[in-house]
Structure 1
Amino acid sequence: MKISEQYNNSGAGTLPITQTASKKQSLVFVIASASAGTLIEFYDLILAIVLAPVISRNLFPEGEARFLETLAIIVTSYFVRPIGALLFGSIGDSAGRKKPFLVSLLMMGTATFLIGCIPTFETIGWMAPVLLLILRLLQGLAISGEYTGATIYVAEHAPENKRGFYTGFIQSTIPLALLLCLGVLFTTQRSMTPEDFSTYGWRIPFLFSAVLVLLSYFIRRKLGETPKYALLQTQGKISHQPVRESFQTKGNIKTMLLLIFGGCGAQSTLMQTTHFVMLFFLQRVVFLSFDTTLLVIGMATLLGCPFFQLSGALSDKVGRKKIMLTGLLLSAVLVPLVFYFILQQANPQQLKEVHTISTMVMAKLIVLILSLHICCAMVYGPLGAFILESFPARIRFTSMGFVYNIGNGVLGGSTTFIAELFRSIFIASTAFSLFAGLIYPLLLILTAGIVLAFFIPETYRNRI
């Protein structure tokens, strides 16, 4: 079936059936351009988290608390995101879908490049962590407009009955960004000595971002406005005060709160737990080498990527809620079990020094972590379509952006820091402290399961 026929059969009414196959290429270009930019921005955001141990040694004073201090500053990027959501949302609803994610891309790329240029603590003292804080805040503002803009941009081009499938490309950018990040780090580290990497090599992945951002920016400049937004313009239905409308439209605040606690926060905490809490768990509790950790998480992430697309496509047929609820229920069971079995397989004697593991044990770890990736995909794959289908077009960017950046940013984005904080608080009880960090994500996951099951309606048949 041609793309033009899909549009016509969906009832979207935005494309005439006489359009040729060139429109198919246009849709492919739309998805590729939006996804590539989002992938790069998530790469930029993730990089500082993965490199937190190295950053702590370079930009903070010596002391046991410097790793926690580094995570605290890195997490600040998530707390500023609701502000960015309202800013970019206002632009996206009143001036067009395209503008916000062009601005956000340049903002993110500039901040990431400059992080790679921050002098060490030995050179400029406390200005080093202060500069890191400022640049992480800029990154937080940038990503708040990127994901929402890209998801809505793709959804408003896609056929009505395939929104989950097409927005699934945007959803898969987080694991792909992690893969890109791990690949660049692995390549950089293997090209120099550990001492050189710790001294200056860690800066290279940040500087490399500038190349990726510029390429993506020039590609995105060729994009036009979405057909659904253009229709709003033609009909004179553009909102000139989308922030006010988002909070004054009857029932909209309730919808936003339900989506925050009924999926968005849980999705983010599950992703953070699977990626970053796991990363530090393997390094600081299981005591695996950096190379082994990158390899295990990288392979699990690679194998898990197709499930994001599959979950989005399946949600077009059976509904968003069924897929997401299944993912939440499975993750509530698997998260504690996976962490427990990883420790038992890779460090049963609870050694306190870095050690090697066999190929067979490594394979088992990959399978265990892959199970969490599949849960992530089931929750996150349909989520973009699920959120945007809950709001009217005239305030969609603002409302969706606020929901995503409160849930994904403030609630879920705090997971890595809170997990490490809980682990340090309960350090006196060794057996429990290893898993204390899982309390917070499990709480958000269980809450989301209840809210999603009983209080949020299905959306996949909604017209947008």
Structure 2
Amino acid sequence: MVAAAAGARERVGTNTWLVIGGASAGTVFEWYDFYLYGSLAGFISDQFFSGVNATTGYIFALLAFAAGFAVRPFGAVVFGRLGDLWGRKNTFLITMILMGLSTFTVGLLPSYAAIGVIAPAALIVMRLVQGLALGGEYGGAATYVAEHAPDGKRGLYTSFIQITATFGLFLSLVVILLVRNQVGEPAFKAWGWRVPFLVSAALLAVSLWIRLRLNESPVFQRMVEEGKASARPLAESFGQWKNLKLVILALAGLTAGQAVVWYTGQFYALFFLEKMLKVDGALSNSLVAIALLLATPFFVVFGWLSDRIGRKPVILAGCLLAALTYFPIFKALTVAANPDLAAASARAPVTVVADPADCAFQFDPVGKKTFASSCDLAKSALAGAGVSYASEAAPPGAVAVVRIGHTGIPSFKGEVLPPPELKVEKAAWTKTLSAALKSAGYPAKADAAKMNKPLVVALLWLLVIYVTMVYGPVAATLVEMFPARIRYTSMSLPYHVGNGWFGGFLPTTAFAMVAATGDIYYGLWYPIIVAAVTVVVGALFVKEMRGAPIEA
């Protein structure tokens, strides 16, 4: 038996790059599919949520994006169980097919203008299918590669799986840029945004062909031959305290912080450039894509380093650096990407002076409510202009005033006006506000000619370096934490709760925090706090597992 196992390991060694390439290719494709939606959230908002106001529509688009993350833990449970029962390879073949078909379907869905509320409902269903599929994909690919890896190189081998998430995002940005350049912005907005989704059919075919050439994991094969496979992986993983405790520690002390650092460094940075700093979408995609390309090799570097010094020091250092430096990095990004905005904000800061009782949280799920108080009108106009502002309390009943530097622009009480008159008055007041903002130096769009592009790329690169630190070693860490008989199930859940919930809801949560306060940096408190908690829990309670045997 020992000789057979050694022979199997030796044969595996000769196919190292087929194993890594086969698992990675399929995972790149799945991440490409999943992140297309996030990269095109603005276009999807226009196509599928046009029946509500613009702010609500964008929040809905982000919520639909988050819906895919919300169900990832359920996919982890369902497909993790199948992976521990049926094998790693068979399970991640199923998840890939589900992901490919659902993504292709998104490219064919009619818009809200064509079929009404059925359109966003169908979109959300496809996002849920994508989330379920991705919930089962990652654990299978990471486990499959780790169970092929020789001792002492597990972090290095699995780091190639970690590259796939960033490379999938990079690939989605490249395809979007190519299509945009070929068809032009008007056509891309009308129908060209569908092309990247439809391209996934070809990627699915290639990925399936590669994965069908793979054999089952040698660890799983030996486990089945020796009768050590679990008959009840869910009960063992979550019904026994010794295993459930590891699941909880993996979440709180590793994946929660890893997730928020990942999504801040890649997705929220792109969102921040476009939505907060008003940088052109194509330029934002290009700058982020360059930063991703330059930083991607460091997934392998930090995976290799974790084989030398341990997994915990690398992951927790990334979380700590992120928590300590996010505010200065994003403020420097503002100065580099939109210097006119940074200068205007310093020279003539904007403050909304209003009765707090006059201010509502402007989110209307059905798009029927009118926010017409003087405070709501002021904040809505500033949000539409992409201008950050502070809030200051005024006496009860006072009309809100937008103060730009030393200039005050009174709002008006729109709730006392009939709808036609409100519309006219609002348009006139918004025009007055826009003129005042322009006079104070606030730009409608970032000026690409004034942008310090090398510095923007450098700052984005640094954010992605943090991502490589926390993400490069995490697959090996999770594989080593759990026994082989329940590994797929046990490691998938904390990974996808962390990345699906803590990370996946980051754009929506951070944007809501910004919308509620008017401070474009306020949303950063969410990843900072989560990352800091992970540093504390991980340092105190998570055991270093580098080099632990994974056959048992």
1:67 aligns with 2:43: no
Query: Counterpart of 2:462?
Result: 371
Offset, 1:419: 0.9
Q: Which amino acid aligns with 2:286?
A: L
Q: Distance in 2 between matches of 1:115 and 1:202?
A: 11
- 1:311-390, aligned counterparts within 5 Å? 311-350=302-341, 351-358=442-449, 361-390=452-481
Offset, 1:356: 2.6
Q: Distance in 1 between matches of 2:20 and 2:143?
A: 11
| Corresponding pairs, count | 447
Query: Counterpart of 1:54?
Result: 43
Spell out, residue by residue over 1:40-79, the C-alpha distance to the aligned partner (whole angstroms, 9 max, x if none): 0001110001100011011112512101111111101111
Q: 1:13 to 1:374 in 2, by over 3 A?
A: farther
Offset, 1:249: 2.7
Offset, 1:101: 0.5
Query: Counterpart of 1:287?
Result: 278
Offset, 1:250: 3.5
Contact 1:12/1:159 (CA < 8 Å) preserved in 2?
no
Query: Counterpart of 1:403?
Result: 494
Q: 1:171 to 1:18 in 2, by over 3 A?
A: closer
Spell out, residue by residue over 1:421-442, the C-alpha distance to the aligned partner (whole angstroms, 9 max, x if none): 1111112xxxxx1111111111
Spell out, residue by residue over 1:286-316, the C-alpha distance to the aligned partner (whole angstroms, 9 max, x if none): 1111121011101110011001010001100
Spell out, residue by residue over 1:306-357, the C-alpha distance to the aligned partner (whole angstroms, 9 max, x if none): 0101000110011001111211111112222111101122223323422333
Q: Please report the TM-score for the alignment, with normalisation by the length of structure 1.
A: 0.94
Q: Which amino acid aligns with 1:378?
A: M
Which one of the candidate residues 13, 24, 31 is aligned to 1:35?
A: 24
1:202 aligns with 2:193: yes
1:415 aligns with 2:506: yes
Q: Distance in 1 between matches of 2:158 and 2:48?
A: 38
Query: Counterpart of 1:434?
Result: 520
Offset, 1:15: 2.7
Contact 1:312/1:382 (CA < 8 Å) preserved in 2?
yes
Spell out, residue by residue over 1:343-381, the C-alpha distance to the aligned partner (whole angstroms, 9 max, x if none): 122223323422333487011010011111111111110
Q: Distance in 2 between matches of 1:15 and 1:421?
A: 55
Contact 1:98/1:224 (CA < 8 Å) preserved in 2?
yes
Q: Which amino acid aligns with 2:521?
A: F
1:444 aligns with 2:535: no
Q: Which amino acid aligns with 1:158?
A: A
Contact 2:336/2:451 (CA < 8 Å) preserved in 1?
no
Which one of the candidate residues 215, 229, 240 is aligned to 2:231?
A: 240
1:79 aligns with 2:70: yes
Structure 1 outlier segments of 4+, above 3 Å? 11-14, 17-20
Q: Distance in 2 between matches of 1:410 and 1:12?
A: 44
Unaligned runs of 5+ residues in structure 2 are: 342-441
1:174 aligns with 2:260: no
Query: Counterpart of 1:187?
Result: 178
Identity %: 37
Q: Which amino acid aligns with 2:499?
A: N
Query: Counterpart of 1:6?
Result: none
Offset, 1:18: 10
Spell out, residue by residue over 1:373-394, the C-alpha distance to the aligned partner (whole angstroms, 9 max, x if none): 1111111100011011000000
Q: Distance in 2 between matches of 1:355 and 1:296?
A: 14
Query: Counterpart of 1:3?
Result: none
Q: Distance in 2 between matches of 1:367 and 1:193?
A: 29
Which one of the candidate residues 26, 50, 53 is aligned to 2:15?
A: 26
Which one of the candidate residues 525, 540, 543 is aligned to 1:457?
A: 543
Offset, 1:269: 1.2
Q: Distance in 2 between matches of 1:207 and 1:406?
A: 29
Contact 2:273/2:279 (CA < 8 Å) preserved in 1?
yes
Q: Distance in 2 between matches of 1:97 and 1:311?
A: 26
How much is the aligned-residue C-alpha RMSD, in angstroms? 1.6
Q: Please report the TM-score for the alignment, with normalisation by the length of structure 2.
A: 0.79
Q: Distance in 2 between matches of 1:49 and 1:228?
A: 36
Q: Distance in 2 between matches of 1:226 and 1:17?
A: 10
Q: Distance in 2 between matches of 1:150 and 1:202?
A: 29
- 1:43-192, aligned counterparts within 5 Å? 43-60=32-49, 61-64=51-54, 65-192=56-183
Which deviates more from structure 2 when the two are superposed, residues 356-365 or residues 269-278? 356-365
Contact 1:334/1:372 (CA < 8 Å) preserved in 2?
no
Query: Counterpart of 1:4?
Result: none
Q: Distance in 2 between matches of 1:47 and 1:375?
A: 23
Unaligned runs of 5+ residues in structure 1 are: 1-10, 428-432
Q: Which amino acid aligns with 1:258?
A: L
Q: Distance in 1 between matches of 2:8 and 2:509?
A: 53
SS of residue paired to 1:238: coil
Q: Distance in 2 between matches of 1:293 and 1:18?
A: 46
SS of residue paired to 1:157: coil
Contact 1:12/1:160 (CA < 8 Å) preserved in 2?
no
Q: Which amino acid aligns with 2:517?
A: F
Q: Which amino acid aligns with 2:481?
A: S
Q: 1:364 to 1:235 in 2, by over 3 A?
A: same
Offset, 1:12: 11
Q: Which amino acid aligns with 1:399?
A: S
Contact 1:82/1:144 (CA < 8 Å) preserved in 2?
yes
Contact 2:31/2:165 (CA < 8 Å) preserved in 1?
yes
Query: Counterpart of 1:222?
Result: 213
Contact 1:300/1:373 (CA < 8 Å) preserved in 2?
yes
Which one of the candidate residues 276, 287, 294 is aligned to 1:296?
A: 287
SS of residue paired to 1:251: helix
Q: Distance in 2 between matches of 1:356 and 1:347?
A: 7
Q: 1:140 to 1:323 in 2, by over 3 A?
A: same
Contact 2:291/2:458 (CA < 8 Å) preserved in 1?
yes
Q: Distance in 2 between matches of 1:74 and 1:295?
A: 22
